[in-house]
Amino acid sequence: MDDFVKRFGRIRMEGRETSQEPLLSSSPLAFGVLYQSSDALLVSVPREDAYSLDLVLPRFWKSTILPSSPTTYFPVPYEDVEPIRKVLEKLRFNPDIAASVNILDIEQMKSDVRFLTGEDDESGIESRHSFTSGARVAAEWIKMRIEESGAECELWSFMDGFSPDVICRYKPVVPSDTRVIISAHYDSRGSFGRTRAPGGDDDGSGTTSLLAIARVIGRKGIKFHTNVELIAFSGEEQGKLKEEGEKVAQVVQADMLAYRAPDEPLQLGLPETIGTPEATQLVANISGLYSRELTVGYTAACCSDHQSFYDLGYPGTQVFERAGPIADPMYHNSGDLSERPGFSFDQLYGISKVQFATLLHVAGFEFSS
């Protein structure tokens, strides 16, 4: 920890792509250590540098942005969890849901993730780090693909120079002031000092799940009884929701779905601590109905976008690839490709079915005539 602090204080945060104007400060990082322990640092950095801090962090370190002034965090109100409790109480196997989730297309998933990683030699994407041109290419492409399913999409920029969040909405066929959100993050992180950041598992897999779900929504003409959003994050959108006073019935964030460790079964990891217990239980129960091939357990792996929703008082949970800690040897590595040992499209398919079935059960739906 001490060695890193000394080294970090000398680092100049500069743009990594010569094809664009540098988007990060070119002066020495205004860096201050506010608190230090054996396994954590609380540091002060300029806001524009905070979003690129991960470029200089060791592989298994994660940065979490905290506000510079006191912020109120909200518990999830008891009454806001009641809709999930009602779904849990009445949860039964639904053949229409099974027929919908079972036609998620694995071959199309393979094609989608290869586009995002640049393995297809067509997208030209080298990195999807949030300040790169590749991330902006990915955002536009994700937007177009989900719009093809009938959604209305927008690119929401949370900071100049950084790639936008892709926010896609399906309007309900009955009046509703509530929304259900399924999400992933499309930005990526590679090996320290290298520009290549394919992000096949983290989180090309979660983004591919969103695209697969959107395609079935369009193919089957699914109409929802609640506002539904598919969001591919690059940064933040949660604060915007709170400002608008939106009601959120449930958030299910998909983050790293595809890696299967040697000699382990297909798995679904659910958050051990960070998340709404009822939301997590609902996902576990739905897995037993529609993806019985998955072994379900808990993970302490931290931290994904659902945490910000949870901190703001919205019911939320996460789906992850493993019960236990991160095992992917290519985590935050430039070798995070889809064509490698351990990358399991069967597991990605199984978890995607769970995420989709959860959406259908919570939002309510019908098929267009």
Q: What is the mean pLDDT of residues 89-116?
A: 99
Residues 198-209 pLDDT 10s = 999 999 999 999
What percent of the chain stands above pLDDT 70? 83
Euclidean distance between CA atoms 63 and 100, whole angstroms: 38
- Residue 267 near residue 294 (C-beta atoms within 8 A): yes
Q: Examine the pLDDT at 121 and tell me if it is beyond 70.
A: yes
What is this structure's pTM?
Answer: 0.86
Give counts: helices (H), strands (E), the chain: 11, 12
Cβ contact 305:253 at 8 Å = yes
Q: Does 98 have pLDDT greater than 90?
A: yes
CATH code 3.40.630.10 region(s) in the chain? 78-367
Fold of the domain spanning 78-367: Aminopeptidase (3.40.630)
Query: Alpha-carbon distance 64 to 124, whole Å?
Result: 30
98, 101, 107, 111 alpha-carbon torsion, rounded to 10°: 180
Which pLDDT score, from 0 to 100, does residue 239 have? 46
Q: What is the pLDDT of residues 199-248, one digit of tens each?
A: 999 999 999 999 999 999 999 999 999 999 999 999 654 445 554 567 89
Q: pLDDT tens for residues 128-165?
A: 998 899 999 999 999 999 999 999 999 998 877 889 99
